[in-house]
């Protein structure tokens, strides 16, 4: 999974980093649904944590688990040799890094910043270079997990960044994951993997939407159809979970089983931008970008991202979809 020896810096760097990790708590910035789940798992695994989030309620919940609250992002770095961040987009990650990096560099002890955000490969590459210039490690470790799966320790992490930093970080990630997968030293590599995975999920949702609409157009029970597909030739987590939501038109934003359509649209846009920058044709990504934007324009951004399926039903002239939309607008599951 990762090298048995640290490249370039040898065993002295390993011993130095081990002392840093053991003498200071782990830092964590960003206590949203994913961040709070990671903090819960790390606390239960016996890690000492210092945390920060502008949301006072989220901060209090982490403190109730035994974490120590910081008053700023910079203070987290001042008190922690390894800092995790779980933030929603490129801009917020950049703003947090502008506070974290100077404080981490000032420590002078081989500090590490671990970004668990779904962001563009380019910002991770840029941040990796900025961190390296100040002798701070930067590891990309975006998360594949829903909030409920994260709290159960069922996340999957692709990781990328300098080998010496990953050697410190991977054992920590393993305390809150089913698997950690190394994608090399290019800091943007793990973000490419995450965007590719989210693209495949979005494409599966759209395909399920269209197949269900076809079934319904011929008065075939859409739920029975999807149940057959997801229990036989497409028997996998994504088709089972999102297949049910699409077929039943259950797009309610449940607290523990929800990925907002607005966030899905952001990720699909990141996929499209990354493909454009690499001159990699992705015609399905272009279609998905437009479908998600149309769903946002219909006022569905706060629903689960499977709600992109509603537009497909509307386009197919479904007689049943209006009732489902009305229930969702009333906040009914």
Q: Which residues sit opposite 26 in a β-bridge? A: 49
How many domains is the chain built from? 2
In this structure, are 216 and 148 located in the same domain? no
pLDDT band with cut points at 50, 70 and 90 for residue 8 = very low
For residue range 55-92, list pLDDT tens digits in order: 999 999 999 999 999 999 999 999 999 999 999 999 99
In this structure, are 199 and 132 located in the same domain? no
- Final residue belonging to a domain, choices 168, 186, 204: 186
Of 263, 262, 287, 261, the closest CA to residue 275 belongs to: 287
- CA 328 from centre of chain: 25
Instruction: Give the HSE-up count for residue 307: Cα atoms under 13 Å, Cβ half-sphere.
Output: 33
Q: What percent of the chain has pLDDT over 70?
A: 93
In this structure, are 99 and 201 located in the same domain? no
Token pair, residue 232, equals 């036989």
What are the residue ranges of helices labelled H in 108-188? 121-133, 147-151, 163-173
In this structure, are 197 and 182 located in the same domain? no
pLDDT band with cut points at 50, 70 and 90 for residue 24 = confident
Percent helix, percent strand, percent coil in the chain, to nearest 5: 60, 10, 30
Give the model's pLDDT for residue 256: 81
pTM, to two decimals: 0.90
For position 82, which CATH number holds?
A: 3.40.50.720
Give the mean model confidence (pLDDT) for residues 41-59: 96
Give the model's pLDDT for residue 17: 38
Give the mean model confidence (pLDDT) for residues 173-189: 97
In this structure, are 278 and 223 located in the same domain? yes
Give the mean model confidence (pLDDT) for residues 21-29: 78
- Final residue belonging to a domain, choices 140, 161, 186: 186
In this structure, are 21 and 167 located in the same domain? yes
Give the mean model confidence (pLDDT) for residues 214-225: 98
Structural domain includes residue 171: yes
Distance CA 192, CA 127 (A): 15
| pLDDT for 13 beyond 80 | no
DSSP string, 236-269: SHHHHHHHHHHHHT-----TTS--BHHHHHHHHH
Give the model's pLDDT for residue 23: 56
Give the mean model confidence (pLDDT) for residues 156-168: 98
Token pair, residue 197, equals 């995975």
Of 234, 240, 246, 235, the closest CA to residue 208 belongs to: 246
Structural domain includes residue 240: yes
* Environment class of 268 (CB within 10 Å of its CB; exposed 0-12, middle 13-18, buried 19+): buried
Give the mean model confidence (pLDDT) for residues 186-195: 98
Mean pLDDT, all residues of the chain: 92
- Final residue belonging to a domain, choices 143, 164, 186: 186
In this structure, are 40 and 142 located in the same domain? yes
In this structure, are 181 and 206 located in the same domain? no
Structural domain includes residue 31: yes
Structural domain includes residue 4: no
In this structure, are 88 and 19 located in the same domain? yes
* Environment class of 78 (CB within 10 Å of its CB; exposed 0-12, middle 13-18, buried 19+): middle
Residue span of the structural domain in which 278 resides:
193-329
In this structure, are 215 and 152 located in the same domain? no
Answer for the pair 116, 7: CB distance below 8 angstroms, yes or no: no
Structural domain includes residue 1: no
Give the model's pLDDT for residue 108: 87
Answer for the pair 304, 149: CB distance below 8 angstroms, yes or no: no
Return the residue matching tokens 């993997």: 193
DSSP string, 300-322: -TTSBGGGHHHHHHHHTT-SSHH
Distance CA 47, CA 83 (A): 13
Cα separations in angstroms, 258 against 12, 263, 271: 45, 10, 20
Per-residue exposure over 32-56, b if at least 16 CB sit within 10 Å of its own CB, e if not: ebbbbbbbbbbbeeebebbbbbeee
In this structure, are 167 and 206 located in the same domain? no
In this structure, are 110 and 174 located in the same domain? yes
For residue range 263-310, list pLDDT tens digits in order: 999 999 999 999 999 999 999 999 999 999 999 999 999 999 999 999
Three-state DSSP at 331 gives: coil
């Amino acid at each position: 999974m990762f090298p048995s020896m640290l490249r370039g810096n040898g065993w002295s760097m390993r011993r130095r980093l081990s002392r840093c990790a053991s003498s200071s708590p782990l830092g964590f910035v960003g206590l949203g649904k994913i961040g709070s789940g990671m903090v819960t798992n790390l606390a239960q695994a016996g890690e000492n944590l210092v945390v920060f989030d502008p949301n006072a309620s989220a901060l209090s919940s982490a403190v109730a688990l035994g974490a120590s609250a910081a008053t700023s992002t910079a203070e987290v770095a001042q008190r922690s040799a390894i800092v995790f961040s779980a933030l929603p987009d490129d801009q917020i990650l950049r703003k947090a890094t502008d506070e974290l990096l100077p404080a981490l560099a000032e420590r002078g002890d081989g500090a590490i910043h671990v970004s668990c955000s779904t962001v563009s490969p380019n910002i991770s590459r840029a941040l990796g270079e900025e961190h390296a210039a100040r002798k701070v490690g930067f590891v990309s470790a975006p998360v594949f997990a829903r909030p409920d799966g994260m709290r159960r320790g069922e996340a999957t992490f692709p990781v990328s960044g300098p080998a010496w930093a990953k050697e410190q970080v991977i054992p920590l990630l393993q305390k809150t994951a089913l698997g950690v997968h190394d994608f090399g030293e290019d800091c943007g590599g793990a973000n490419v993997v995450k965007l590719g995975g989210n693209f495949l999920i979005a494409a599966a949702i759209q395909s399920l939407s269209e197949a269900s609409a076809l079934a319904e157009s011929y008065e075939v029970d859409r739920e029975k159809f999807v149940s057959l597909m997801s229990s036989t030739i497409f028997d996998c987590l994504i088709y089972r979970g999102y297949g049910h939501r699409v077929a039943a038109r259950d797009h309610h934003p449940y607290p523990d089983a929800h990925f907002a359509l607005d966030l899905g649209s952001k990720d699909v846009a990141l996929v499209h931008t990354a493909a454009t920058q690499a001159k990699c044709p992705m015609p399905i990504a272009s279609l998905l970008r437009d479908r998600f934007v149309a769903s946002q324009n219909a006022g569905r951004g706060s629903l689960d991202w499977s709600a992109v399926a509603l537009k497909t039903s509307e386009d197919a002239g479904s007689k049943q979809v209006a009732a489902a939309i009305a229930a969702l607008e009333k906040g009914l599951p």
